[in-house]
Structure 1
Amino acid sequence: MPDDIAQRDAATVMAVRTPSPVVSMTFDDGPHPKLTPVLLDMLKARGLRATFYLIGNRVVTWPDIVRRIADEGHEIGNHSWTHPNLAKYSNANVLDQIDRTSDAIFKITGRPPVTFRPPYGSFTRRQRIMLYEERNLPTILWSVDPQDWRRPGASVVASRILSGSRPGAIILSHDIQSGTVKAMPQTLDGLSQRGLRFATVSQMMGWPLWQSRSFRRATAKG
């Protein structure tokens, strides 16, 4: 990740200063045809909301799961169309990756994503500002990374999240990893037992719940 992400600008969010004990669980790279529904069952049983950063070409492959994510009160964010390293892309190609994904999510859910997470966290400050100016999409990074993509095992994933989480934390995880989904009961219950509540990224930033916003279709120009 670029060294400049800690600088304060409206285009970049790593964590949120919040007066209340709230964290945001975020899940990248889905939807997964088997694991995402299992995770959704866990969240539903606990009455918790999360944010899912979905890949566009997976959105169009499993639209029913995307619809379920939205219908059950979770937020859907944009995670590009094919999960490339966007830091090497031109502005036009970056916007194509993002616009195709926003359009796919809009067609399935009736609303476009309002935040973006770059694959690998690889997105230069210039690109983040460009995206914010062109599409009004802030880039959402994270403050807790359990490195779950390395597959360290469910107990390690859970302990890393529990030890790293503070009020205002944005927690990175991946619902395409079976170990991560297996870690979630211990993780979610452990965070709740510490008095932490769960909110979507929009809620943490003080925005309306994603499902309650009224949108004009303004994600792509023209």
Structure 2
Amino acid sequence: MSISSRRTFLSTLGAAALTLPSAASATTPVIALPRDAGRGDAATIMAVRTPSPVVALTFDDGPHPTLTPHLLDLLRARRLRATFYLIGNRVVQWPDIVRRIASEGHEIGNHSWSHPVLSKLSDAAVRDEIDRTSDAIWRVTGRPPVTFRPPYGAFTQRQRHALLESRKLPTVLWSVDPQDWRRPGAQAVASRILNGSRPGAIILSHDIQRGTVAAMPQTLDGLAARGLKCGTVSQMLGWPLWQDRRFRRVAG
């Protein structure tokens, strides 16, 4: 589903505040939505249709050893939750930051093990990238991710359906892209996010980019000034808070 319908946003958002890889190079693929996204695809989520004034801030490619903790400080000060799509090899490198993300009420999603262009890999290689990352997140936090975001958005419709069928992981893309990986500066990142945000928006950003983290105070305060609250992807979908879900590990 390109836009996932739901009747109401979780009551935890209510009227009150919530409680609580390297830089792109010339050879880096352009981050773009797949051409077949947004065509009633049940395996794909780009935004959420909701009457509630809520958005989902999502941060890709972390954790970063210094920028992610600073971002977490900003979110904690405002009592906001976000979703972090983490790279598996960074999860095992900085497990303490990953545990902090989870303990402060944020959601963790799967962003592959090594950030490859998955649409060019074999099915077995794709499964390995995703399964290694889910296992790493499980080992560090005690729970697996429940959504997946492909690096660069490069994931075919066939791959998205296969992942949903085999691993029960929907692919979460985005509806707002500030192109922060191009390093346009903090002011441009904040302006692009604020100008593009609507109720139900899923906002793409990267907490490995210094300019993105620098843009967050203006972005977060600007969203609040417009009456938009921030929640996790699971909350936007009407699912239980990620930390409240109970999982049973199956061998094999």
TM-score bin, normalised by smaller chain = over 0.9
1:125 corresponds to which residue?
157
1:148 corresponds to which residue?
180
Q: How much has 1:118 moved relative to structure 2?
A: 0.0
Which runs of 5 or more residues in structure 1 are unaligned?
A: none
Matched, 1:16 2:48: yes
Q: How much has 1:176 moved relative to structure 2?
A: 0.2
Amino acid at match of 1:178: R
> Which runs of structure 1 show a deviation greater than 6 angstroms over 4 or more consecutive aligned residues?
none
1:189 corresponds to which residue?
221
The size of the alignment, in residue pairs, is: 220
TM-score between the two structures when normalised by the length of structure 1: 0.98
Correspondence 1:22-37 to 2 at 5 A: 22-37=54-69
1:4 corresponds to which residue?
36
Q: How much has 1:109 moved relative to structure 2?
A: 0.3
Secondary structure of the 2:211 match is: helix
Separation in 1 of the partners of 2:249 and 2:204? 28
- Residues 102-150 of structure 1 show CA distances to partners (whole Å, capped at 9, x for unaligned) of 0000000000000000000000000000000000000000000000000
2:121 corresponds to which residue?
89
2:6 corresponds to which residue?
none
1:179 corresponds to which residue?
211
Q: Whose helix fraction is larger, Structure 1's or Structure 2's? A: 1
Matched, 1:52 2:84: yes
Matched, 1:71 2:87: no
Contact 1:23 1:167 in 2 (8 A): yes
Secondary structure of the 1:108 match is: helix
Q: How much has 1:9 moved relative to structure 2?
A: 2.3
Q: How much has 1:19 moved relative to structure 2?
A: 1.6
- Residues 49-91 of structure 1 show CA distances to partners (whole Å, capped at 9, x for unaligned) of 0000000000000000000000000000000000000001111
Which runs of 5 or more residues in structure 2 are unaligned?
A: 1-32
Pairwise CA RMSD: 0.8
Q: Quick one: percent identity of the two aligned structures?
A: 77
TM-score between the two structures when normalised by the length of structure 2: 0.86
Separation in 1 of the partners of 2:47 and 2:150? 16
Separation in 2 of the partners of 1:133 and 1:25? 26
Secondary structure of the 1:4 match is: coil
Amino acid at match of 1:84: P
Q: How much has 1:35 moved relative to structure 2?
A: 0.2
Contact 1:74 1:200 in 2 (8 A): yes
Contact 1:112 1:217 in 2 (8 A): no
Separation in 2 of the partners of 1:135 and 1:7? 22
Matched, 1:80 2:112: yes
Separation in 1 of the partners of 2:67 and 2:60? 12
- Residues 149-190 of structure 1 show CA distances to partners (whole Å, capped at 9, x for unaligned) of 000000000000000000000000000000000000000000
Separation in 1 of the partners of 2:233 and 2:174? 11
Q: Which among 133, 143, 147 is matched to residue 111 of structure 1?
A: 143
Separation in 2 of the partners of 1:16 and 1:140? 11
Amino acid at match of 1:198: C
Q: How much has 1:92 moved relative to structure 2?
A: 1.1
Contact 1:121 1:141 in 2 (8 A): yes
